[in-house]
Amino acid sequence: MRTPFLILVLVCGLLTACNTQTKRVGQAQSLYEEGLRLREQRQSEEAAEKFLQGLEALLSCEETTEILQLKGQLCDNLGAMYFKHGLFEGAFVQHQQALNCFRQTLDSTGMMNAYRNSGRAVRAQEQYTQAKQYYDSAFSIATLIHDQAMLGDLYLEMGRDYYMETGNFAKGIESVNKALEIGLSDSDTDIAHMTLGILYYYSNDFEQAKSFLNQALHSERPGLKMSVYQTLYAIAYTEGDYKQAIQYQQLFSTNLLESEQEHSSEVMLRIKSEYELKAQQSELESLHRNRDLKLYLIIALVLIALLVILLIVRKIVSDHKLKMEQFGRQVERDQNRIHELVSDMETLIRTNDELRRNQQTLSQKELMMTEKIMARNKVMVTAQALSEQVNADTLNFELADNDWTDFINLTDLIFDGFSQRLLQLYPKLGKWDVRICCLSKNGFSNQVISILLDTQTDSYYKRKTRIKQMKMNLGDDNRSFEEIVNAV
């Protein structure tokens, strides 16, 4: 009995040996500074890993003022990385933890940033009332400490992301103008001008809208210019200046291509980063759950292992002869079974090859017939024409309900009853929701679909988001709308 006891004492001693708290705090500080450097270099997944490692180093430390301050900074920066990659719930949790740390240390600046970031996270989840409360708290602190830069940023964000989204355009115009009065960076100034242009457009003040939109065109960012040209197109179209509207549409298409090229690259990086960030987040949560139980678990495993070894040795000694006899009989049976399986497998392979050849021949014939029929459908012809070129001729189309019905039926034929399977999975979808899903299933771009729906691209993005969150009940699903549709 002395040997197992000595083994347990040795295991406990090795597990309890660790660095002092001072060393752990120094390590966490170094990881935090390295994470900030990586964040400045836009290496978000690497930065998030450093922040997570810093939090791990502080897990068992006593919560002094210095440690709470460092923990708050780590959580707030980690939340910003999660927000960047669309992990809004995880971002909100981290910002709330940061806010709790800054409250305990009475850090006004930290609380202000945490309130603002919490507002961003819940606003991204369309929880506008809660977002307004967090933004108001950040406003109060920024006003109290006279942080003009933060006030400018908050006014711009409220005008663009809250008042515009909730339809309070007059309040949004007032908020963005206050941001411009305080002073913004060049890039944020362009965003402010674009936001004012869109707000005035929604308010039907087209002259003011055009003035600010033209100022926003000083930006070099294709995505921003794309939104500006889209709004200018809508104004020209409403005013009956169709020639000017076509020019804006062409400029929109040019910037859309540039923006989609950048977006395509960013999507690949985002998918990779989201996967790594989720893995890191799960690792940290696992460490929180298991750290206190680790020692007891290992002790229990050691005891179980010793008992299992004793039982195995006893079993081997008592049953060795019987097992050898059983093994010999089993080998003989297995050999016979293997021969039978080999024979059956050869027959199955030959049959499967013949069935595959027959199925390929039938599938090719069916596909050719379906493609010929699909090429005559008015919805398909119109969408393909818009994909190739957007001009006055291709924009002059009219689609009846019968055209859409034929299009959906043909889509079902090509994709094996797609619309029926879609409605079985998501019965809340309406008629136009199903049409949007069928267009996306056939691979048409967001621009083409928004034109077919007679809506702006920004409105179409919002509509996809509402379908996903409200009608498909997939608000927690990190896949894109197109990925969800293609998975049906």
| Same domain as 357, residue 387 | no
Segment among 19-33, 289-303, 371-385, 460-474 with least mean pLDDT: 289-303
Which residues touch 249 (CB under 8 Å, ≥6 apart)? 229, 233, 390, 391, 395
**One domain for residues 314 and 412:** no
pLDDT at 368: 59
pLDDT above 50: residue 127: yes
479, 401: one domain: yes
What is the C-alpha to C-alpha distance for residues 103 and 82, in angstroms, rounded to an integer? 22
Which two tokens mark 247?
A: 């020019």
In a shared domain, residues 354 and 405: no
**pLDDT for 117 beyond 50:** yes
Residue 283 lies in a domain: no
CB atoms within 10 A of CB 411: 25
Q: How far apart are CA 176 and CA 188, in angstroms?
A: 11
Which of 5-9, 57-61, 155-159, 427-431 bottoms out in mean pLDDT, i.e. has the lowest?
Answer: 5-9
- Entry field: residues in the chain: 488
Please give the structure tokens belonging to residue 3.
């040997």
Taking the alpha carbons of 150, 156, 159, 162 in that order, is the dihedral positive or negative? negative
Residue the block writes with tokens 């949560």: 285
**Assigned domain for 6 exists:** no
Check pLDDT > 70 for residue 260: no
Q: How far is CA 151 from CA 189, 281, 383, in A?
A: 14, 32, 46
Name 97's Cβ contacts closer than 8 Å, sequence gap at least 6: 71, 72, 75
3-state secondary structure of 85: coil
Token pair recorded at residue 379: 């919805």
Last residue of a domain, one of 96, 117, 146: 146
Domain count, the chain: 3
| Domain stop point among 120, 146, 172 | 146
pLDDT-derived band of residue 103, with 50, 70 and 90 as boundaries?
very high
Say whether both 349 and 393 belong to one domain.
no
Q: Which long-range contacts (CB under 8 A, 24 or more apart) does 50-54 make?
A: 51/75, 51/77, 51/78, 51/81, 52/78, 52/280, 52/281, 52/283, 52/284, 54/27, 54/28, 54/29
User: Does 15 have pLDDT greater than 50?
Assistant: no
Which residues in 84-96 are b (16+ Cβ under 10 Å) and which e?
bbbbbebbbbbbb
On whether both 438 and 399 belong to a single domain, the answer is yes
Instruction: Record the tokens describing residue 476, joined without a space.
Output: 């927690």
Mean pLDDT lowest for which of 159-168, 242-251, 253-262? 253-262
Q: pTM score, two decimals?
A: 0.51
> Considering the domain boundaries, does residue 405 fall inside one?
yes
Predicted local confidence at residue 311, as pLDDT: 84
254: which 2 tokens?
């040019």
- Over residues 390-396, the mean pLDDT reads 78
Per-residue pLDDT for 121 more than 80?
yes
Domain of residue 341, residue span: 310-369
Mean pLDDT across 299-327:
82
Q: What is the pLDDT of residues 51-90, one digit of tens each?
A: 999 999 888 788 899 999 999 999 999 999 999 888 999 9
**3-class DSSP state of 179:** helix
Contact 101, 138 (CB under 8 A): no
Name the least confident of 105-109, 188-192, 238-242. Answer: 238-242
Q: Considering only 223-237, 379-393, 429-443, which range has the smallest mean pLDDT?
A: 379-393
Would you say 235 and 201 are in contact if contact means Cβ atoms under 8 Å apart?
Answer: yes
